[in-house]
Amino acid sequence: MSFTRIAFRFLAGLSLAGLVVSARAAELPAAFTAALTQAGIPLDHVAVVVQPLDAAVPVLSHNAEAALNPASVMKLATSFAALNQLGPGYTWSTDVWADGVIADGVLSGDLVIKGHGDPTLTLERMWLLQRELRARGVRHIHGNLVLDLSHFELPAIDPGAFDGEPLALYNAAPGPLVANFNATTLRLKPDGEQVLIVPDIALPGVTLTSRLVLADGAECKGWKDALAPAIPDPERLELVMSGRYPRGCGEQAWALNLFEPAATFDFIFRGLWAESGGTLTGATLPGMAPQSEPLLKFASEPLTDALTRLNKHSNNLMTRNLFLTLGAERYGAPATLEKGAQAVREMLAQRGVPTRKLVLENGSGLSRIERISADALNQLLRAAYNSPLHAEFQSALPIVASDGTLKRRFNGSAFSGSAHLKTGSLRGVSALAGYVYTLNGQRVGFVMLVNHANARRSEAAQRALLEWVHTTPHGLQPIVDRSPSGHTIPHVQAGGAPQ
């Protein structure tokens, strides 16, 4: 071997050794690690990937391959799969049949409604559906209301199984017919020394019992925490509300998950129908839709609008319905959780997102078993960025200190308004993933997952890392890739110059 070649290899070895030293010296940002230490969160319970979207490799990578619970950040996977499988203009259909003769505004027969999982049927859109029905000559129904729920095939769901809060809206179960996100809104109205409970929509057959005690004081912050709504006996259909209600609160509204989706749909449909002067004389029954063409096919909002509400407000019910829809559209009805999981997994794999460590239960992140790695989330963000549908994907995410679940977070930070991030929070989980815009105009993919008992204390660390990403030029530099075992693996970012 020539002296020149030996000298070249010796110099290359010195260069590589210097690179390794630099990589180890780079470490994670000091303010970030200090904030984690202050919060009592060990580094091996945290995963981070930061990668400029025009770069080949990350500038930071820590525990990137660890399969962690992402909480609601898992909605990114379901949303990305939906945009690619269904397309941004996809709509759900709620179909209505008049099983009888319509004459002089009267349907002499049953009204049959079949749902396909539309998660956008708000009160306003339920009113529009009924308006379309009246336009077709139906104002009075002399028959039953028949609900066809066959599009979904689900196991029995206990809404309190997740965390013992069955009446919380985030625990609402999915269903083929869901109205107003399965929310029943109650108004609490002080009246003398008592507090009345008045529903927004009539609830025939349901007893609302107030055991609320008016408490002196004008402070109203956190008033819900002092109240305890409960349904002691589901067979009796009685809601009992106990606790101390501050006088200073005046009238307040509280939306609760009181009933199964079909029951809530029934209450809302009948309530709005009666408010518009319509009558419905029969009972509400389960059944199957006729094989004939429906009288009305009511289309939902397009998928892009649904994704904005779903992600900006982290709506679990909408995500769970979307997850089931993916399965039904890919493999045929009825929709099942297994079909939904397979559809998401296949679509992610087709777009180059690794799925080896992906664990899906309902696609919303409202789960103790769902798992994904920070590396997979980073690859998903990059695949979305390089997709023609990137604008639709990113615009659905909350903007830091501006809207959605980030409206009141990181206010006053250097990066306010400069990041679109999906949030995730469960007991023992805090997560963020999305896109950050830097001061020098770079766009950077950002993933941070925390799985630890002190996860709720991680906001200062999130802020520190986001500020570092936002203010630091990310050019040619070594990075740190720490596996769960703590080994450091050097890399070099390809492209760009030091700044």
Give the DSSP letter string of 235-281. GGTEEEEEEEEEGGG-SEEEEE--S-HHHHHHHHHHHHHHHTT-EE-
pLDDT at 356 over 60: yes
**Euclidean distance between CA atoms 415 and 469, whole angstroms:** 9
Geometric angle at alpha carbon 12, from 6 and 15, rounded to 5°: 145
| 380 and 347 Cβ atoms separated by less than 8 Å | no
pLDDT over threshold 90, residue 22: no
Q: Are 120 and 182 in contact (CB under 8 A)?
A: no
User: pLDDT digit string (tens) for 123-181?
Assistant: 999 999 999 999 999 999 999 999 999 999 999 999 999 999 999 999 999 999 999 99
C-alpha Rg value of the chain to the nearest Å: 27
Average pLDDT, the chain: 91
pLDDT bin (cut points 50, 70, 90) of residue 219 is confident
Domain 93-155+266-299 homologous superfamily, CATH: D-Ala-D-Ala carboxypeptidase C, peptidase S13 (3.50.80.20)
Pairing of strands 106-114, 145-148: parallel
Q: Is the pLDDT of residue 387 over 90?
A: yes
Bridge partners, 286 (sequence order): 147
- Give the domain ranges of the chain: 24-88+304-492, 93-155+266-299, 184-256
Tokens of 67: 């399969």
pLDDT tens per residue, range 289-324:
999 999 999 999 999 999 999 999 999 999 999 999
Question: Burial code of 378-403, b = ≥16 C-beta within 10 A, e = fewer?
Answer: bbbbbbbeeeeebebbbebbbbbbbe
Q: What pLDDT sits at residue 475?
A: 61
d(CA 257, CA 29): 43
Tell me which residue has tokens 């994904």.
Answer: 372
Whole-number pLDDT of residue 57: 95
Inter-residue contact 422 to 414 (CB < 8 Å): no
Can you tell me the mean pLDDT for 194-205? 95
Task: Give the alpha-carbon dihedral of 231, 236, 239, 243, to 10 degrees.
Answer: -70
**What are the structure tokens assigned to 317, written together?**
């019910």
Burial bucket for residue 305 (CB in 10 Å: 0-12, 13-18, 19+): middle
- Fill in the amino acid letter for 122: T
- Residue at 491: amino acid letter: H
How is the beta sheet containing 238-246 ordered, strand by strand?
Answer: 207-215, 238-246, 227-230
Q: What is the DSSP string of 37-81?
A: HHHT--GGGEEEEEEETTSSS-SEEESTT-EE--GGGGHHHHHHH
Give the pLDDT score at 272. 97
Q: DSSP E strands: which ranges in 53-179?
A: 60-62, 67-68, 93-103, 106-114, 140-141, 145-148
What was the pLDDT predicted at 15? Answer: 35
CA distance 320 to 77: 12
pLDDT in tens, 422-435: 999 999 999 999 99
- Rounded CA separation 488/23 (Å): 8
Task: Give yes or no for residue 498 having a pLDDT over 60.
Answer: no
Chain centre distance of CA 314:
3
As a whole number of angstroms, the distance between CA 475 and CA 233 comes to 63
Residue 439 to residue 461: CA distance in whole angstroms: 20
Q: How many CB atoms lie within 10 A of CB 136?
A: 12
**Cβ atoms within 10 Å of 185's Cβ, excluding its own:** 14
Per-residue confidence (pLDDT) for residue 473, from 0 to 100: 85
Condensed to tens digits (0 to 9), the pLDDT of residues 72-108 reads 999 999 999 999 999 999 999 999 999 999 999 999 9
- Average pLDDT, integer, range 43-51: 98
Cα of 1 vs its chain's centroid, Å? 62
> Tell me, which fold does domain 24-88+304-492 have in CATH?
Beta-lactamase (3.40.710)
Of all residues in the chain, the percent with pLDDT exceeding 70 is: 90
Q: Which residue has the higher pLDDT, 236 or 457?
A: 457
**63: closest CA among 373, 432, 378, 431?**
373
Between 176-185, 210-219, 390-399, the lowest mean confidence (pLDDT) is in 210-219
Say how many CA atoms lie within 13 Å of 292 toward its Cβ: 10
Distances (CA, A) of 191 to 164, 196, 245: 31, 7, 12
Angle of the 30-39 helix axis to the 459-471 helix axis, nearest 10: 180
